[in-house]
Structure 1
């Protein structure tokens, strides 16, 4: 088996079973592996049935092969690139005068609140 499948290899398989903890994927007639729920998609997945079902053909990356038991750990999310995040919007540049006006207003408001509390 280790001659046919290698860690890091990306191959297609067929989902043969779906459980709450992951999906079993057949790699050939005799070999299957497990995709843990945390390796189904990028991001959080609450219900695995939202992502895969029995009979689906999926691309998987082989994460590990236990030489003693022959168990194969697979990842669907590592078999494809991560989705790109939207770039963060930067705040528009502020000039010194605008910043100073904001600082003075905040300072005045705080002083007014303090004076109100003291005069009660």
Structure 2
């Protein structure tokens, strides 16, 4: 059994894999954020772009250029539904590049459209959303 990279404690097949395969949409903004973290770990650029809101989505991410990045873990600090279609998720993701440790602390903004959550943008270093 392979645990999901999102730190849910669940097997990958019963967690983010279902979202990555398009079998179901993320039920919450937190679930989407966790699945996006797992997608970074697994190099799933198409999934990341598909779950990025069209208003802020980059043309490409070039994950293949970041082969030296090793994701180390995820800690979700808070998930707050602002209303039925807007939410924020604060998290800290740890990673290593060339053996050197880094932390990504972000408060991410999400929007729900047509029953699907999308990542909009985020404030780095835990700045207010």
Q: TM-score, normalised by structure 2?
A: 0.25
- The structure where strand makes up a greater share of residues is 2
Q: TM-score, normalised by structure 1?
A: 0.27
Q: Which has the larger radius of gyration?
A: 1
